[in-house]
Amino acid sequence: MFDFKQRGGRLAVAAVAVGALSLADAGVGAADAAARPTTTTFGALTSQDWPLVAQLTLDRRLVARIEVGLEEKCTSGVTIFLPPSDKAIPINRGGAFSDSFEGGPTVLGEGDTVSYSDQLRGKLNRTRTRITGTWHERTVFTHAGQSDTCDSGTVSFTATD
């Protein structure tokens, strides 16, 4: 029989039986049993009241990952929700970072396609405990030769450690 426990991003397995081995008996050191974190997490609600989460490396020189919820108003009159993300964005000495990316067209089926473009900008305060920034996403859906353009506008956020 085995007892599975999640610790520090690693899965530790210990035999559970009469005379079971401890982690130390199995040759697993203290560093392996409790891995140190490599990132710190910032969180916020955007100006649209959707969540934003950013993970920075402990030295705060790289945005390891950032995710946001965005509402986009479309030319067809509908509003959609999309959760874009980005990763591995360098932070300059002044605390600023930015990235622009796009994708598509991606075929959704029966000739329907989607394309998108994102612009992300942010800056850490002097003590690197707060991020202020903006995210803008534009998505274009195409169906039977007609397109529907959806745009979030510039969405601002202030995230704290």
Mean pLDDT of the chain: 84
- Amino acid letter for position 143: H
The pLDDT assigned to 92 comes to 98
pLDDT digits (tens, 9 = 90+) for 110-142: 889 999 999 999 999 999 999 999 999 999 999
Residue spans per domain, the chain: 1-36, 38-160
Whether the Cβ atoms of residue 52 and residue 85 lie closer than 8 Å to each other = no
The pLDDT assigned to 129 comes to 97
Name the residue with higher pLDDT: 9 or 150: 150
pLDDT digits (tens, 9 = 90+) for 66-94: 999 999 999 999 999 999 999 999 999 99
pLDDT digits (tens, 9 = 90+) for 34-58: 788 899 999 999 999 999 999 999 9
Model confidence, pTM: 0.77
End-to-end CA distance of the chain: 41
Position 24 pLDDT exceeds 50: no
β 10-15/130-143 pair status: unpaired
Q: How many CB atoms lie within 10 A of CB 32?
A: 14
Exposure letters 80-101 (e unless 16+ CB within 10 A, then b):
eeeebebeebebeeebebebee
Name the residue with higher pLDDT: 145 or 128: 128
